[in-house]
Amino acid sequence: MEQYKTRAELKSDTKELFRGRWKDAILLNLIPTLITFIAFLVIVVVSFSIANQTNTPIENWTNDSYVSEDIGESSNSGNGTSNVTSGILSTLFTVGISFTFLDWFRDPDKKIHPIKNSLQVFSRKYFLRAFLIYILTSIFTTLWSLLFIIPGIIKHYAYSQAYLIYKDQTNLSPNEKISSLNCITESKNLMKGHKWRFFLLEMSFIGWGILAVLSLGIGFLWLFPYENATRVAFYEDLTKGKYLNEQDY
């Protein structure tokens, strides 16, 4: 029976990787951290704007009702667009960073170039199919969520390894076009019997998340790289080099 590392061991692997190099890890994650922070500020500003518009004095309701409705609809539309855009960008940046962490785990002496590495998913080599994975997994997860929220969550974890599988398969066969759908299917197969383990691993960071919020967000500078790299450590432990050799899959 295959033996897998515990949550504590995976986190220990991450901390060992970052030993003496936390600066590299933090700088690498700085862009998605800033995007998340800016998106949060936009939501707060728009929410306050809508709240102020709805606080119209009673004597002005008749004259201003249509104006308020137009402003509210415009604000909601802008808020939705901002959320979708920031969500896509943040996800793709995080994927690029995960690719870097995967290389870093395999080469602990790897030199980190924060901006270049965090942008690698936007390269010609990765972008199109990584974006397709994002679109497809979003559609599939949403459709499953229409049945009930639980199936959507389960599918989210089933698809969670698709990006890293895509990176490994692309590097293994650089001259072949890797199917985004096949990577999603491979992730589903890989995660059979392991979705609960991955869920518990992610839940184990909740306490750190609360502390990060209490620190006015400063703690996220350390939490994001710690959490992202530990997810990659999970993939490394789960696959055990399966996608590094063509004959292994």
Indicate the pTM of the whole model. Answer: 0.81
Task: Give me the percent of the chain exceeding a pLDDT of 70.
Answer: 83
| Lowest mean pLDDT across 50-64, 126-140, 164-178, 215-229 | 50-64
- Taking 90 as the threshold, does the pLDDT of residue 37 lie above it? no
- The mean predicted confidence, pLDDT, of the chain is 85
Q: How confident is the model at residue 148 (pLDDT cuts 50, 70, 90)?
A: confident
Q: Determine which helix (DSSP H) or strand (DSSP E) holds 236, and give its type and residue range.
A: helix 220-239
Residue pair 120/126 in contact by the 8 Å Cβ criterion: yes
In order of 145, 162, 192, 207, the CA distances from 95 in angstroms are: 23, 10, 22, 24
Place of tokens 């306050």: 48
CA distance 11 to 234: 9
Task: Give me the percent of the chain exceeding a pLDDT of 90.
Answer: 57
Q: So where are the chain's domains?
A: 7-35+84-248
Place of tokens 């959507």: 152
Instruction: Indicate the length of the chain as a whole number.
Output: 249
Closest CA relative to residue 232, chosen from 132, 133, 100: 100
Q: How confident is the model at residue 27 (pLDDT cuts 50, 70, 90)?
A: very high
Burial string for 92-103 (b: 16+ CB within 10 Å, else e) reads bbbbbbbbbbbb
- Taking 70 as the threshold, does the pLDDT of residue 144 lie above it? yes
Cβ contacts of 145 within 8 Å, gap of 6 or more: 151, 152, 153
Q: How confident is the model at residue 61 (pLDDT cuts 50, 70, 90)?
A: very low
**Residue 57: what pLDDT?**
54
**Residue 177: what pLDDT?**
83
- Taking 70 as the threshold, does the pLDDT of residue 181 lie above it? yes
Q: How confident is the model at residue 50 (pLDDT cuts 50, 70, 90)?
A: confident
